[in-house]
Amino acid sequence: MDKSIFENYAGLEGGQLLGPILRDFRGRAAVVSSFGAESAVLLHMVAGIDRSSPIIFLDTGKHFWETLSYRSMLIDKLGLTGVRVIEPDIADLAATDPDGTLQKSNADLCCHIRKTLPLQRALQGFDVTISGRKRYHGAARATLDFLSIADDRLKVEPLAGFSALDLAAYMKAHDLPAHPLTEIGYFSIGCEPCTQAGGTAADPRAGRWAGSSKTECGIHWTHNGKDMPAPSVASH
């Protein structure tokens, strides 16, 4: 995969970018969704193009029950038929996080075995990944490109240019249900042990890994905007 492919999609974003990508790479493009606070927008766009598109959900074993319930409800409402639930490797958990508390001592390693490794395995055979990250979330995301290439795979960010207002307007226009935790003050929602209520439209991810310098889980292959080497099991 080389950057000349960007020319095919120059100037496109949102559904106008997603449509040709899903058609051109049918069966070879995977959407990665957390079914979190703003996920319904991208998932609704996908449903409007091809309900059978592969959608990967990483079930870390640490999600809020509200997220799992919301996932089931959105799948039904949008008629999504391509959702794949990916879980951590049992042997990795047994060796590295036997009591399920690794996030307290080594959050990077916990994300590595519960998110990064399972996703890398799930993406084998896909040429394109699509996610719903936005520049307005700031930090490493502030300079997101709509298109990039990593690990010889095309990465597509159709919502990179969307603001909080754009997302709210889209949700309202299409009568999309909100994640239940957004109604009690959660702006960004990940695993339960690492997510607090809070955040603002100006800093929506403030409730993620609050009190630490960590801002990303690593599934996008960077940590705080820098290339992230795989954490060592020995560092636990």
Q: Which residues bind ligand SF4 (CB under 6 A)?
A: 60, 62, 103, 107, 110-111, 114-115, 190-191, 193-194, 217
15 or 36, CB closer to ligand SF4?
A: 36
30 or 217, CB closer to ligand SF4?
A: 217
138 or 193, CB closer to ligand SF4?
A: 193
| Closest approach of ligand SF4 to the CB of residue 111, in Å | 4
| Closest approach of ligand SF4 to the CB of residue 18, in Å | 26
The residue whose Cβ lies closest to ligand SF4 is 191
3-class DSSP string for the chain: CCHHHHHHHCCCCHHHHHHHHHHHCCCCEEEECCCCCCHHHHHHHHHHHCCCCCEEEECCCCECHHHHHHHHHHHHHHCCCCEEEECCCHHHHHHHCCCCCHHHHCHHHHHHHHHHHHHHHHCCCCCEEECCCCHHHCHHHHHCCCEEEECCEEEECCCCCCCHHHHHHHHHHCCCCCCHHHHHCECCCCEHHHECCECCCCCCCCCECCCCCCCCCCCCCEECCEECCCCCHHHC
Q: Catalytic residue, from 110, 111, 194, 217: name it.
A: 217
The reply to whether 217 belongs to the active site is yes
Gap between the Cα atoms of 75 and 81, Å rounded: 8
| Closest approach of ligand SF4 to the CB of residue 140, in Å | 16
52 or 120, CB closer to ligand SF4?
A: 120
158 or 231, CB closer to ligand SF4?
A: 231
| Closest approach of ligand SF4 to the CB of residue 108, in Å | 8
| Closest approach of ligand SF4 to the CB of residue 35, in Å | 14
Residues noted as catalytic:
217
